[in-house]
Amino acid sequence: MSAFAAPIAEQIWDMKYRFKDADGTPRDVTVEDTWRRIAKDLAKVEKDPAAWEERFYAALEDFKYLPAGRITAGAGTARQVTLFNCFVMGTVPDSMGGIFDMLKEAALTMQQGGGIGYDFSTIRPKGADVKGVAADASGPLSFMDVWDAMCRTIMSAGSRRGAMMATMRCDHPDIEEFIAAKSDPARLRMFNMSVLVTDPFMEAVKADGSWDLVFGDEVYRTVQARDLWNRIMRATYDYAEPGVIFIDRINEANNLNYCETIAATNPCGEQPLPPYGACLLGSINLARLVSDPFEAAAALDEAALDDLVAVAVRMMDNVVDASKFPLEAQAREAQAKRRIGLGVTGLADALLMVGLRYGSDEAARQTERWLHRIARAAYLASVQLAKEKGAFPLFDAEGYLASGTMQGMDDDVRAAVREHGIRNALLTSIAPTGTISLYAGNVSSGIEPVFAYAYTRKVLQKDGSRTEEEVVDYAVQLWREKFGDRDLPDYFVNAQTLSPADHVKMQAAAQKWVDSSISKTINCPEDISFDAFKDVYMQAWDSGCKGCTTYRPNAVTGSVLSVAEDKPAETAPEVITTDAAEPQQPHGDVIYMSEPLDRPNELEGNTYKVKWPDSEHALYITINDIVLNGHRRPFEVFINSKNMEHFAWTVALTRMISAVFRRGGDVSFVVEELKAVFDPRGGAWMRGKYIPSILAAIGGVIEQHMIATGFIAGEGMGLKSDPQAQVVGLEGARGQACTSCGQYDMRMVEGCMTCGSCGYSKCG
């Protein structure tokens, strides 16, 4: 019997978490091998490794505790990788040399796959004097463009997708330019952006007071606070950014406010971190802890929860010692504070199993009770670790207990911390869990509601055929197994039917017992009024949230997959593009990408030699392919020759062709375009055929390669024209295609565009 509850779970494991050799040979034969690998590696530092390995394995078994993807993929592999998900980089100095030192550190961190956050408030505003060079400053937005270009470069060089968060204080003189930056659809695409909103600013907004924009000791100008707030709200309403981070609330609550100041978060916002701060993540799968689901006696097994949390905290503490770090400063920061981010997933499913409607008052109260239980168990487990292994090096009892979070903690927990110290400075966070939730059997993600009860995804098989499989929410599948075709009860709700107020209520309920923050998206209907939209953010502020991220589908942000209420599953229609004049067969894996494909570290390819008559030197054409869902498709082209006369145009040609290949879709039209080029000086006979130009010869080589790899069926069977224009109109109606698997199933989840079919996330 397989441990996987759904085919998609096994596919995610094989694609993302299964340990394989460089040639693709699996080291993990089963998922049990993966659990054993992680348990063994994280138990190595214990005094009794064998005993703790068994306890760690039991926690991982049946997907009860889900370490973040970095840990699941990297632990026990001996690879030089970081097991940490989140980084905030050092404070950006207001000097050219310092700025580019920071850029280098960002590149090194992103090269290892780390998501990073930066506060750009420390860079002087546009137009300010630059002493010593008789020039005006270009401002923080100009340097953000440099970071954006660096991130694109790192991506194209073969690293996993980079993710960055940019923050700016609400009193920075360039804040209005920051707010409007995403109105340009081509600018800062590698960034998520959030405004650092202070308590005095929110008070000024409510009082309709004035607001000074300052840098250093200088007031640059004064605006009306409410006008600036409306600018933030309008930008978010129109194009989904910037988000809002209530930074004073974060610093007041922070257990470490006596020794650090926070000014930025990781890309999805659940980890506010100091300069060089790092945090690792993991989630308790609440859906696996409910006994007697859908029965009168249904309940979360709280004793099992306490034990699971304690083991998870110990495992995560061991990760601090097991992980590598891109920068030494990050390693020092992690060791000094031993921050961890233990969260939950499957909350919505667990609520359904005990008969509660997500967003109801009772569901919010139950969420608060469960999260309180987790916080207690986590803190007491960390105190126990401190008794055994020592408190984190920067622990100071008086400063720690004076923080906002600890003042609200239970008296017995406070007493234990005062007496014994605590091993981990912060312990709880609710992170994006899109991929690991699919891996765990499609449980609901994080604290988000169920997105869809079921949907159909198309899966490309290795032989090029397509199959359809239904992806069913974990709780819905349990209901089907128990009750067959009986209608779902009224308390089954999903993201399509909830009001924004219900979302905020649930976020606030969870936030009370989360010492870091929460990655959550508040879904808003497209037709929500601007005033009602603004009220969502004010509700988040008034109810104690540390930040707010919304998503309103529109022409700029794109639609997402809609799910009909009266259907068990929605099928995203497949795109088969045909030429108007001549019917065509489907070509290869017809996937249209809204963003360029990432380049893996290794690609399969072939090199071909072309000797053009009357030319002294041959051309060598290398075509590399990427494998998507088991199907090989062209990804990049290189053309080399000793003939320097050819250098400029061959470089230009390879870049253009490679750029087209990386956007996805049926790119066979490139062959026909090249084959149609005629040289006015005449062509040549090659292998019994007249080739009208050297470019046509290159097109012929690419065509033969596509035939050999199965991308097109035969000679002359490529598309005669670029089909992209025919697809654009469809994409607007169906949303964006996933750049990893091609399915039209992108949705905003936990603050990031995420694919429901393969788990790919824009935020990495």
User: Beta strand 86-88 with 278-285: parallel, antiparallel or unpaired?
Assistant: antiparallel
Closest to 344 measured CA to CA, from 319, 377, 384, 381? 377
Alpha-carbon gap, residue 97 to 208, rounded angstroms? 41
Alpha-carbon gap, residue 412 to 307, rounded angstroms? 18
Any idea which residue has 């991220």 for tokens?
Answer: 549
Give whole-number Cα distances, 34 to 39, 75, 268, in Å: 9, 9, 27
Is residue 86 part of the annotated active site? The answer reads: no
Which backbone phi and psi does 369 adopt, to 5 degrees?
A: -65, -45
Mapped onto helix, strand or coil, the DSSP state of residue 466 is: strand
Whether the bond into 140 is cis, omega within 30 of 0: no
Closest to 719 measured CA to CA, from 656, 671, 657? 671
Is residue 419 part of the annotated active site? The answer reads: no
Alpha-carbon gap, residue 190 to 211, rounded angstroms? 30
Q: CB neighbours of 499 closer than 8 A, spacing ≥ 6? A: 359
Alpha-carbon gap, residue 458 to 738, rounded angstroms? 13
Is residue 442 part of the annotated active site? The answer reads: no
Mapped onto helix, strand or coil, the DSSP state of residue 150 is: helix
| 491 sits in which H/E element | none
Q: Which of 105, 270, 636, 750 is catalytic?
A: 270
Say what the alpha-carbon torsion angle 226, 227, 233, 236 is, to the nearest 10 degrees.
Answer: -150
- CA-angle at 310, arms to 307 and 315, nearest 5°: 125
Q: Which of 192, 257, 266, 318 is catalytic?
A: 266
Q: Which of 151, 268, 738, 758 is catalytic?
A: 268
Contact between 212 and 262 under an 8 Å Cβ cutoff? The reply is: no
What is the DSSP code (8-state) at residue 64? S
Alpha-carbon gap, residue 476 to 454, rounded angstroms? 8
Alpha-carbon gap, residue 519 to 78, rounded angstroms? 31
Alpha-carbon gap, residue 263 to 15, rounded angstroms? 36
Any idea which residue has 């949907």 for tokens?
Answer: 455
Among left, alpha and beta (phi > 0; psi -120 to 50; other), residue 379 is alpha
**Residues carrying an active site annotation:** 266, 268, 270
